[in-house]
Amino acid sequence: MFYDDYDRFWLLTWTTYGTWLPGDKRGFVSPVPDDSTGKRIKNNIVDTPYDADVPQLRNEAIANLKCDPVYLSTTQSEAIIDQLMETAAHRKWLLLATAIMRNHIHVVVGVPGDPNPENMLRDFKAYASRRLNKHWPKPVSGTWWTRSGSKRKLPTELAVIDAVAYVRDQANPLVVRIHDQIQERLGESHGERGA
């Protein structure tokens, strides 16, 4: 089965420019002031609380935006998903699941070896940007995306299946694509949902 053919699996997530800022009520991972030291710290240790709802930080981020937030269209999301699949195939990665929403993207990907997940994220974003720039004007900010993104290692087959179900079940996706290799396993482990 798919799980034995790849060394690592990741759930990668990134947001479009200006749509999920430091200080957001939904939570965020960005440097925040530490009252005890006077320095900024980033609360991003696995299984520990992250920061949420810091209005001063959010207002600073809004003031620093170079343009309006970027929201994707259905047509753009279709171009992006084609490019994500092309990038994965070129790198010999297995793209198990992709969901593209107006303001963020989730992918579940299997990889040979142990490439740096930041590099994987960079590749997906860079090639998606090139595809978008080919057909649409580049945003005034110079970028479609926020910096970096979330990189969660999926250590077990069940974790991979759960992540695929999470991606499949996103609210209001513009496009969702689930790889045939996991579709059957997903139906056995979770309720069926057409994508």
Q: What SS3 state is found at 15?
A: strand
Q: Would you say residue 191 has pLDDT above 50?
A: no
pLDDT of amino acid 37: 82
Q: Is residue 27 part of a domain?
A: no
Q: Would you say residue 188 has pLDDT above 70?
A: no
Q: Would you say residue 47 has pLDDT above 60?
A: no
Q: Are residues 49 and 134 located together in one domain of the fold?
A: no
Q: Are residues 92 and 183 located together in one domain of the fold?
A: yes
DSSP codes joined into one string, 80-124:
HHHHHHHHHHHHT-EEEEEEE-SSEEEEEEEESS---HHHHHHHH
Percent of the chain past pLDDT 70, that is, above it, reads 87
Q: Would you say residue 194 has pLDDT above 50?
A: no
Give the mean model confidence (pLDDT) for residues 89-101: 97
Which of 40, 63, 86 corresponds to the end of one domain?
A: 63
pLDDT of amino acid 3: 75
Query: Which tokens in the block code for residue 59?
Result: 């207002």
Give the mean model confidence (pLDDT) for residues 70-78: 98
pLDDT of amino acid 148: 86
Place of tokens 């799980």: 3
Q: Is residue 49 part of a domain?
A: yes
Q: Is the CB of residue 154 less than 8 Å from the CB of residue 130?
A: no
Q: Are residues 55 and 74 located together in one domain of the fold?
A: no
Q: Are residues 43 and 96 located together in one domain of the fold?
A: no
pLDDT of amino acid 193: 41
Q: Name the pLDDT band for 124 (thresholds 50, 70, 90).
A: very high
Taking only the tens place, the pLDDT of each residue in 169-179 is 999 999 999 99
For the chain, the domain total comes to 2
Q: Are residues 96 and 155 located together in one domain of the fold?
A: yes
Does the predicted model carry a pTM greater than 0.75? yes
Name, in order, each residue with C-beta under 8 angstroms of 118's C-beta and a sequence gap of 6 or more: 148, 151
Give the mean model confidence (pLDDT) for residues 139-155: 93
Q: Is residue 165 part of a domain?
A: yes
> What is the overall mean pLDDT for the chain?
87
Residue ranges making up the domain that contains 43: 32-63
Q: Are residues 92 and 177 located together in one domain of the fold?
A: yes
Q: What is the distance in angstroms between the CA of the first residue and the CA of the last residue of the chain?
A: 22
Question: Which of the two residues, 109 and 33, has the higher pLDDT score?
Answer: 109
Give the mean model confidence (pLDDT) for residues 112-118: 94
Domain harbouring 95, CATH code: 3.30.70.1290
Lowest mean per-residue pLDDT among 5-14, 43-52, 129-138: 43-52
Q: Are residues 129 and 38 located together in one domain of the fold?
A: no
pLDDT of amino acid 49: 65
Q: Is residue 179 part of a domain?
A: yes
Name, in order, each residue with C-beta under 8 angstroms of 36's C-beta and a sequence gap of 6 or more: none
